[in-house]
A and B are shown apart, each in its own frame.
Chain A
Amino acid sequence: MSGYTICTIVLAAALAPALLVGVRGDPIDRLVGLELAGSVASALMLVLAQVQHQSYYLAVPLVLVPLSLAGTLVFTRLLGDRDDES
């Protein structure tokens, strides 16, 4: 098992705490988990492209990062209203 494969397993395991944060607490707390999961998934795909020697895997984080940014900004706009207004 190469070092990069171990790094891939570590990053895949790091998705679990991010998903755990994403299912606990208030909606705004869960948003932190979503942001973490997006960043970790992008890093995972970067390393996976190296492990598999498939450079076209890099298209996934290239699309995921801007979509994750836009999606999370929409969530922050929607969740930013006061509790007593919603």
Chain B
Amino acid sequence: MTHAIALALVTAGCVVIAASTLGAATVRGDLFVRLHFLTPVTTIGVPLLSVGLCVESGNGWIIAEVLLIMAMLFVAGPMLEAATARAAAQRRGLIDSEQPE
């Protein structure tokens, strides 16, 4: 039963990640549209996958390591998306090049 739950979670995470990358490659539109496909990978896909791996593993150290990686990705994904969007807006002259204080 535990194995089935873990496999279902990991599969769901993989499907979200694959769908996001496919969407980013095939979407018609500019950079700001494509950027929306970046965050689901780190905020939905990887957490589902990580929880599944934790359920499967049962080893405390591995669980801690996987959760640490998940937490870093969870924070890094939206941060990188915002930084990329800001760089693109600066590049197109939509906002000032000065960094926020």
A binds B: yes
> Secondary structure of the A side of the interface?
helix
Residue in B15, B80, B86, B91 whose beta carbon sits within 8 Å of that of A35 in the complex:
B80
* A28 to B: closest C-beta gap in Å: 5
Tally of B interface residues using CB under 8 Å: 52
Residue in A15, A28, A29, A35 whose beta carbon sits within 8 Å of that of B38 in the complex: A35
A11 — which chain B residues lie within 8 A by C-beta?
A: 14, 17-18
Q: How many A-B residue pairs have CB under 8 A?
A: 151
Secondary structure call for the B interface:
helix
Q: Of the candidates B15, B38, B80, B97, which one forms a contact with A82 in the assembled complex, judged by CB atoms under 8 Å apart?
A: B97
Knowing A36-B38, A39-B41, A58-B62 touch, does A13 contact B84 (C-beta < 8 A)? no
By a CB distance below 8 angstroms, the chain B residues around A17 are: 21-22, 24-26
Complex A-B: 17 CB contacts under 8 Å: A4-B10, A10-B14, A14-B18, A17-B21, A25-B31, A36-B38, A42-B46, A43-B14, A46-B46, A46-B50, A50-B56, A55-B62, A58-B65, A66-B76, A69-B80, A80-B97, A83-B93
Residues of A in contact with B (beta carbons under 8 Å apart): 3-4, 7, 10-11, 13-15, 17-18, 20-21, 25-26, 28-29, 31-33, 35-36, 39-40, 42-43, 46-47, 49-50, 55, 58, 61-62, 65-66, 68-69, 72-73, 75-77, 79-85
